[in-house]
Amino acid sequence: MSKLSHFDASGGVHMVDVSTKPETQRQAKARAIVRMSRKTLAALPSNPKGSPLEVARIAGIQAAKRTSELIPLCHPLMLTHISVDVSIRRDSVLIEATAATTGPTGVEMEALTAASIAALTVYDMTKAIDKGICIEKIELIEKSGGKSGTWRRTPQRPRSRA
């Protein structure tokens, strides 16, 4: 197992020093799924609070810009791009967030934060209709740039029930 970068030799927590790392173009994409009833999905366009999907998109963008304020050891980054796409599926809302920067450290946490906060916003805007909404599968889909290069999540096959 490799050494955890946020701990020093004595086990104390610290922010990683990235001052000597080269600046590279970095991008990360994350997603979250908000599972809800078809009745709730059908009610989204007529929500009295406004468009839950559009509010979630804006909330995700705002959250990505504030990631270092929310997650203690994240570096503040100058984002060059952030997008949050929100779409309705058969039994869920799919949120995909992409963040990009040119710098010495990655943007995975910004993409994950955007997807998470967008999902929480969908929940907040629809909880009056359906208390059983479930936020699930918040995950990094891919990242590129930096020393470790490109990484992509491999699709998982559904497990058979024996």
Query: In the chain, what are the domain boundaries?
Result: 24-143
Q: List the end-to-end C-alpha distance of the chain, in Å, as a whole number.
A: 33
Identify whether 124 is a catalytic site residue: yes
3-state secondary structure 63-106: HHHCHHHHCCCCCCCCEEEEEEEEEECCCEEEEEEEEEEEECCC
Query: How confident is residue 99, by pLDDT bands cut at 50, 70 and 90?
Result: very high
Q: Which fold has domain 24-143?
A: Alpha-Beta Plaits (3.30.70)
Active-site option among 8, 91, 124, 130: 124
Strand intervals (E) in the chain: 24-35, 79-88, 92-103, 134-144, 151-152
- For residue 159, is pLDDT > 60? no
pTM comes to 0.86
Question: Can you tell me the distance from the alpha carbon of 63 to that of 89, in angstroms, rounded to the nearest whole number?
Answer: 24
* pLDDT the model gives residue 1: 41
Query: How confident is residue 8, by pLDDT bands cut at 50, 70 and 90?
Result: low
Pairing mode of beta strands 92-103, 134-144: unpaired
Helix (H/G/I), strand (E/B), else coil: 143: strand
- For residue 82, is pLDDT > 90? yes
- For residue 80, is pLDDT > 70? yes
